[in-house]
Amino acid sequence: MRRTAFIAAGIALVTVTSVGLALSSVASWKGAVAGKDGSKVTGTATMAPAGDGTEVNVMILGDEAGVTRPWHIHMGSCEKGGGVFGGGRSYTPIAMDGSGHGMSKATLTVAAPDTGSYYVNIHESAGNMGKIVACGDLAKEM
């Protein structure tokens, strides 16, 4: 009887642990940012669950001092673009410091994705959103 109770408790623990892991396995995403068309910009971008939404961070190095760069996470890839993830107004532009370094964070009201393809792009300016100065595909991490 005692051995049966011990075995049952062990099975229950494994089951609860497995369910807990399955519920908390929402993916985080990370990628390297690289300049386009001669731009020497580099950096990183991350996307991760934050409560019921998603937190996105971008950090840029080697840009022009004092410029402001709009940026967004998109569905798709740098090679095959797609729409903005989570709404464009959620993303605060990156203000570069005197050394050409900058960072920004966006808190999106949509849940972090488990599947798909995503990328970050850095635009030249609010007046020239069509020119991308840097881009980076995000890879899913668990």
| Any domain includes 4 | no
Model pLDDT for residues 75-126, shown as the tens digit of each residue: 999 999 999 999 888 999 999 999 999 999 999 999 999 999 999 999 999 9
pLDDT of residue 87: 84
Structural domain harbouring 106: 27-141
DSSP letters along 62-110, please?
A: S--TT-EE-EEEEES-SSS--PBSS-GGGPPPEEP-TTS-EEEEEEESS
| Any domain includes 92 | yes
Chain centre to alpha carbon of residue 43: 13
Task: Say how far apart CA 45 and CA 19 lie, in whole Å.
Answer: 30
Contact call for residues 81 and 71 (beta carbons, < 8 A): no
| Any domain includes 123 | yes
Does the pLDDT of residue 10 top 60, yes or no? Answer: no
| Any domain includes 22 | no
**Structural domains of the chain, count:** 1
Select the more confidently predicted residue: 38 or 22.
38
| Any domain includes 52 | yes
pLDDT of residue 12: 43
| Any domain includes 132 | yes
| Any domain includes 9 | no
At 87, which CATH number?
2.60.40.200
